[in-house]
Amino acid sequence: MAIVDHLIELRRRLLYSVFAFFSAFLVCYYFSEEIFAFLIRPLAEALKDKEGRRLIYTGLAEAFFTYLKVAFFSAAFLSFPIVANQLWIFIAPGLYSQEKRVALPFLLATPILFFLGAAFAYYIIIPPAWQFFLNFETHGTSETLPIQLEARVGEYLSIIMRLIMAFGICFQLPILLFLLARVGILQYQMLEKYRKYSFIMILVVSALLTPPDVLSMVGLALPLYGLYEISILLIRLLVKTKK
């Protein structure tokens, strides 16, 4: 294909991707209250034994923009497989059959690992993390005032989106390491040699990406290190297959 034809094809794939995202955004905005209710469920479960608890918003447009963020966040989730498919349709004709066999499994594994990471954060990490933060509430006495959580909707959404995105992205580690090994940048011997340094780096990244509590940090660091070890096994298998 000529360069102009490539650009026309690229424009077509981008238009399909934008249309898929925009359509998903409209649907998600229509159901934004239900989606937000799903995202807020861990906090609601943590507060179920406490009466009169609520979320608040302190800016006039904060709730509206929160629902927009919910719709945008959810649309990105839903439209990602379609966008990835359009990307594959664009690049596949330029690949050899062997390259297609290598690239296609990674294209399929990327959303699966992302959703696994997001689900791990939502169902395993977030509920005990919320319980941990709620332990800092105090009852008032005759000399002191009570400390109670009055969470803002925008702030809560930012925290839970940050956790879900962090876990989803970090669960791509095996794909990244395997691709680097595939092109010859990494060897499994190198990964084995620098295990302890990699673990320290994983701890640092986990501390930066999660809220300031030990539970969330360890909850991200341990699965990441497990994926690191799985990556070493996959790269070992790759080397044996080449032989």
**What is the per-residue pLDDT for 220?**
86
Tell me, yes or no, if the pTM score tops 0.85: no
Residue 24 within a domain: yes
Across 12-26, 36-50, 225-239, the highest mean pLDDT is recorded for 12-26
Report in angstroms the alpha-carbon separations of 64 from 23, 29, 70, 175. 19, 11, 10, 37
Shared domain for 207 and 122, answered yes or no, is: no
**Burial 92-116, CB ≥16 within 10 A → b, else e:** eeeeeeeeeeebeebbeebeebbee
Q: How many domains does the chain have?
A: 2
pLDDT over 90 percentage in the chain: 19
Shared domain for 37 and 123, answered yes or no, is: yes
Residue 18 within a domain: yes
Residue 161 within a domain: no
Owning domain of residue 73: 1-153
Residue 73 within a domain: yes
Residue 131 within a domain: yes
Last residue of a domain, one of 153, 186, 207: 153
For the residues 54-69, what does the mean pLDDT come to? 89
Shared domain for 119 and 182, answered yes or no, is: no
Shared domain for 134 and 190, answered yes or no, is: no
Q: Please state, as a whole number, how many other Cβ atoms lie within 10 Å of the Cβ of residue 40.
A: 17
Shared domain for 115 and 209, answered yes or no, is: no
For the residues 48-75, what does the mean pLDDT come to? 88
Residue 125 within a domain: yes
Which tens digits make up the pLDDT trace of 127-174? Answer: 988 888 888 888 877 778 888 888 899 889 988 988 898 888 888 888
Shared domain for 130 and 222, answered yes or no, is: no
**What is the per-residue pLDDT for 21?**
94
Which residue, among 231, 87, 76, has the nearest Cα to 164 in the 3D structure? 76
Residue 166 within a domain: no
Shared domain for 228 and 124, answered yes or no, is: no
**What is the per-residue pLDDT for 81?**
83
